[in-house]
Amino acid sequence: MPVQNGSFNYIEDGSIFNLLKRIVLAMKTLKFSILLFLSPLLLGAQGTIDLFIWAGQSNAQGYTGDAVDYPEDVEDLDNHILLNYTVFGNEQTAGRWISMQPQQGRYPAGHFGPEVSFARKLKKEGYHPAIFKYTRGGTGLAKDWKGPGEGGIYDKMVAGLQTAIRQLKEDGCRVHVRGFIWIQGETDAGDDHAARNYEGNLMEIIRHLRSDVLQNDTLPVILGVDEQHYLVEERPIVMEAQQKIAQWDPHIIYTTMYGLPKADVTHLTPAGLVTHGHRIYSAYTIVASRGHDHPVKTSFADHWKYVGLGVAEPGYVVWGTPRVIGDDGKTHLFAARWPGNSVDPSWRSHSEIAHYVGETPEGPFVFSDIALKGIDKATWDRFGMHNPTIHKIDGQSILPVDDRHSRVYRKRWRYTLAIQRRHQIRSERARFLSSGSLYGQGKTDQ
């Protein structure tokens, strides 16, 4: 409570912070109103506009980006950056352009996202950035954003984007749409059907935005999702879909959120949002540098497609899956395996080469027999066999393997890492087994 002393009111310490907060908030509200009023002047001063579309769910919005921690603008960049934002169903600039600043909602001082540090980097590099930001936390591509013409958030975003571009042009600006940033996917990872269809759904809105809305089939696109989110870890197919899309289109790039500090299990801290913006800017410089004639990757590895597990056998660790097509037309897979659920130390002594058979190279594979295992006698094949590969040469199947047979190694490996490694290296031998049949154990080539 205030304490009266003459004509002054002394405010007790507990209320000083609240008073200062109200003053700061009043100043921010005044700044917001003034900038709304001055936005036509800002637009006229820009001339050429480099427009970036910024969309997605909560980490694109900056859900825990409390503007109390809004990054200091020591170079006065924000007054030269335009912002048009909508938190779907909540706060927005009503389609009007303002200067870069904290956005209303979430916290008394407002909130901000990665777009701030991203746009500042652009401005320092000579761009005239304008950020069209359209976000909503907790939304899925399948159930909320939906596809073109389906009446979802995506359609609302496109309508808002077209209005925003038209406003810039009416104010005399030359608008160049430079990129589309899409930070989203965690919600879709929470549903099997949405996760399986994520790749196709995302490709469709990228295609529509590029071709039908902007008439630019090579518009740079930056993708991202929180890889460490518990739903994405449960269904990584969403993350893999973004990475796959980026792999096949040289004008699309995937960005990572690994290592960014979090305020909770889902959302980045203010410092994490700033760093995330820097990462997105770095990704943009890479993808923007790829010209129209940039070749699509066509290396051998680029044509690989994940099909599924080769072998998953309960009670065993399975290592390596070389395979060969047999005379019977079936696919024969040879893998090292050992009992348990961890690598060390069983692989050193109990690894054996198991033989599995499948009707096709994609499987599924069924256990057939043991091609090779230690026999616990004073011979080369006393202990574990490991790292197989399989080749067919001159009508015979050749199975090279590592064997681990040194008696000294077996006695001393447990002492220290240095001794273990030294004697492990001494104890390893490459052996070749040949057989006229893929079934049963072969004979060694000494």
Q: Please name the residues in contact with 27: beta carbons below 8 A apart, sequence gap of 6 or more.
A: none
Percent of the chain with pLDDT over 90: 52
Give 13 or 368, the one with higher predicted confidence.
368
Q: Please name the residues in contact with 114: beta carbons below 8 A apart, sequence gap of 6 or more.
A: 59, 60, 62, 183, 268, 273, 274, 276, 277, 280
Helix (H, G, I), strand (E, B) or coil at 169: helix
pLDDT surpassing 90 at residue 326:
no
pLDDT band at 19 (very low <50, low <70, confident <90, very high): very low
Residue 106 Cα to chain centre, angstroms: 26
Question: What's 407's domain CATH number?
Answer: 2.115.10.20
Query: What's the token pair of residue 343?
Result: 């690598």
Q: State the pLDDT at residue 430.
A: 60
Q: Is 36 within a domain?
A: no
Tell me how many domains the chain contains: 2
Among the three residues 301, 326, 352, which one is the final residue of a domain in this structure? 301
Give 334 or 291, the one with higher predicted confidence.
334
Q: Are residues 209 and 348 in the same domain?
A: no
Select from 438, 432, 354, 358 the least CA-distant residue to 395: 438
DSSP string for residues in 323-359: EEE-TTS-EEEEEEEEESSSSTTHHHHS-EEEEEEES
Q: Are residues 139 and 223 in the same domain?
A: yes
Q: State the pLDDT at residue 336.
A: 86
What is the reported pTM? 0.61
pLDDT surpassing 50 at residue 230:
yes
Cα 303 to Cα 74: distance, rounded to the nearest angstrom: 48
CA distances from 3 to 6, 10, 16, 104, 146 (A): 10, 5, 13, 34, 59
**For range 401-417, the mean pLDDT:** 34
Expressed as residue numbers, the domain containing 402 is: 316-445
pLDDT surpassing 80 at residue 436:
no
Q: Is 26 within a domain?
A: no
Q: Are residues 328 and 254 in the same domain?
A: no
Mean pLDDT of the chain: 79
Select from 370, 352, 436, 441 the least CA-distant residue to 397: 436
pLDDT surpassing 80 at residue 100:
yes
Cα-only R_g, the chain: 31
Query: Lowest-confidence range among 32-46, 166-180, 227-241?
Result: 32-46
pLDDT tens track for 343-359: 766 676 778 888 899 88
pLDDT tens track for 136-148: 999 999 999 999 9
Query: What's the token pair of residue 248?
Result: 């096949």
Query: Lowest-confidence range among 39-48, 132-141, 198-207, 430-439?
Result: 39-48
Instruction: Tell me which residue has tokens 């690598």.
Output: 343
Q: State the pLDDT at residue 90.
A: 87
DSSP string for residues in 196-247: HTHHHHHHHHHHIIIIIIS--TT--EEEE--TTSHHHHH-THHHHHHHHHHH
Q: Are residues 326 and 285 in the same domain?
A: no
88-102, 162-176, 403-417 — most confident range = 162-176
Q: Are residues 199 and 289 in the same domain?
A: yes
Q: State the pLDDT at residue 89.
A: 87
Q: Are residues 353 and 253 in the same domain?
A: no
pLDDT surpassing 70 at residue 97:
yes
Q: Is 25 within a domain?
A: no
8-12, 40-44, 407-411 — most confident range = 40-44
Q: Is 386 within a domain?
A: yes
**For range 322-342, the mean pLDDT:** 84
